[in-house]
């Protein structure tokens, strides 16, 4: 994973820490989200673009309406994805700089039975999680990298089973040595998360299995996982 993608991942982790955490300490987690944005050139560029010409005051007035006559209706966010990103970013900045008291905002606009905890949970459901997920969708390369990392982990789990299977066969010494050499290189490539090397070694391994007549469901699974790298 590149440093730029890692910076975006740090931001998503900070959002998840807020969304999946508790009301206590939540303001510090909002500050951590803003800090993660500042540390990522890609996120800085994204939020500069969506906030340009965005009228936060008017949008906030429309979606965050003070309760009238004792009635309280939970606030909603803009339906347009870019507007939602801009709105939540500005909202977080307002909370972080102290101009919008967080506890008061929760009870004014996300009221649930007078409970800070329940109101905070609604805030996370309506605000934090959509905000996080939309940003994640803006960077499909991150999903590709994460998928690849998951696939390397899957290979690391099944390769020992394949090694045990092959070594249980009646192999000639030369075939056993060839297998050990192939498998040593394959295991190292998986450990180093080198997808190109994995595929190159498996191309040779496929012919080796055909020569032995030893293809089965496990080897097919290995080739299928590797095709996703």
pLDDT, position 111: 86
Nearest to 184 by CA among 206, 168, 163: 163
pLDDT, position 133: 92
Low-confidence ranges of the chain (pLDDT < 70): 1, 66-74, 143-149
pLDDT, position 74: 65
pLDDT, position 71: 58
**Which residue is listed with tokens 């803003």?**
34
pLDDT, position 148: 64
**CB-CB contact of 40 with 69 (8 Å):** no
Half-sphere exposure of 86 (CA within 13 A, CB side): 19
3-class DSSP assignment, residue 98 = coil
Q: Note if the pTM is more than 0.85.
A: no
pLDDT, position 60: 92
Q: Which residues of 92-127 are buried (b: 16+ CB within 10 A; e: fewer)?
A: bbbbbeeebebeebbbbbbbbeeebeebbbbbbebb
């Amino acid at each position: 994973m590149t440093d730029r993608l890692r910076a975006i991942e740090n931001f998503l982790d900070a959002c998840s820490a807020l969304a999946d955490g508790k009301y206590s300490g939540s303001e510090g987690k909002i500050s951590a989200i803003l800090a993660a944005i500042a540390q990522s050139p890609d996120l800085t560029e994204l939020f500069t673009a969506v906030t340009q010409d965005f009228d936060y005051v008017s949008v906030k007035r429309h979606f965050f309406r003070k309760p009238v006559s004792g009635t309280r209706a939970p606030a909603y966010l803009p339906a347009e994805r870019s507007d939602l990103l801009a709105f939540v970013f500005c909202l977080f900045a307002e909370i972080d700089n102290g101009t919008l008291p967080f506890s008061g905002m929760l009870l004014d606009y996300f009221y649930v039975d007078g409970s800070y905890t329940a109101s905070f949970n609604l805030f996370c459901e309506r605000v934090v999680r959509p905000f996080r997920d939309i940003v994640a969708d803006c960077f499909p390369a991150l999903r590709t990298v994460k998928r690849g990392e998951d696939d390397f982990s899957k290979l690391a789990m099944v390769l020992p089973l394949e090694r045990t299977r092959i070594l249980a066969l009646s192999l000639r010494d030369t075939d056993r040595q060839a297998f050990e050499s192939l498998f040593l290189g394959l295991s190292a490539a998986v450990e180093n998360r080198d997808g190109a090397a994995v595929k190159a070694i498996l191309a040779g391994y496929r012919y080796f299995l055909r020569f032995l007549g030893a293809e089965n469901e496990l080897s097919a699974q290995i080739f299928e996982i590797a095709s996703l790298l």
